[in-house]
Amino acid sequence: MSIKINNKKEKAQFEPLIPNNIISFPRSGQHMNERILAEFHQVNNIPYKYCELYNCCQRSPCKYNSVYQKNHDFDLSLKIQPNQKYLFLYRKNKLEQLEAYYRSSRNNKQDYKDSNEYLNLLKFCRNKSSYYDSLVTKFVNNESENILCINYDDYLNYPSKTFHKIINFFGLNYSFDYVDNFIINRDEKIQRRNNMDKSLLIKLTKDLNDIL
């Protein structure tokens, strides 16, 4: 993929802590962030290796010494180490997060007009509720300087600002103007692919008030 950068390339010293952990609740921008990181590393000739964990070494830290490692921390067993960095991606709106996760499990073929489908959604949300709460508590409520939490909506609404914050957190010290130009000139635009129907959100808020 060819990306045009108008301003002069900057050089940044990159000394990653191995691995740089990218933790996320499913369906909160992990794959989008992975693609952007890969392109940025490629454009700037920075060594890049991304561990998918579940389809790679299935261990943490990555045995192949990857620069970044994906993890959903499903069993909440990941220990936060002081010599590693942790980017946490999530959606602040719990119901939007859980519905997006359910939608993904159905390959976007859900039909909430079907009463059984809607009941399955409610059951799914209740089953995953404690996982969401625990993950948010573990990372968002943690004041450690080696944790950066990014809300999915912020990534969509302020992509340049958010990505600049991410790469600086990981030790890539580029100016905001350079990053902004990179984001603007990417072929793939950062945008929401699926919008949750407002009427569905209102209904879920009422029916799942016990987990909010």
pLDDT per residue as tens digits for the range 35-84: 999 999 999 999 999 998 887 888 888 888 889 999 999 999 999 998 89
Average pLDDT, integer, range 175-197: 92
Q: Which residues contact 9 (CB under 8 A, 6 or more apart)?
A: 44
In this predicted structure, what is the pLDDT of residue 169?
97
Token pair 């990372």 is found at 139
Q: Does residue 2 carry a pLDDT above 50? A: no
Mean of all residue pLDDT scores within the chain: 90
In this predicted structure, what is the pLDDT of residue 206?
97
In this predicted structure, what is the pLDDT of residue 6?
52
In this predicted structure, what is the pLDDT of residue 53?
86
Average pLDDT, integer, range 134-144: 95
Average pLDDT, integer, range 89-105: 96
Contact between residue 56 and residue 86 where contact means Cβ atoms under 8 Å apart: no
Average pLDDT, integer, range 88-98: 97
DSSP-derived secondary structure for 62-96: -TT--SEEEE--TTS-----TTSEEEEEE-SSHHH
C-alpha to C-alpha distance for 35 and 17, rounded to whole angstroms: 20
Q: What is the percent of the chain where pLDDT is above 90? A: 75
C-alpha to C-alpha distance for 157 and 190, rounded to whole angstroms: 9
Helix, strand or coil, per DSSP, at residue 20: strand
Cα-based torsion angle of the residue sequence 94, 118, 103, 99 in order, rounded to the nearest 10 degrees:
-10
Token pair 């000394």 is found at 15
Average pLDDT, integer, range 180-189: 95
C-alpha to C-alpha distance for 48 and 74, rounded to whole angstroms: 25
Omega cis (within 30) before 19: yes
Confidence of residue 17 (pLDDT cuts 50, 70, 90): very low
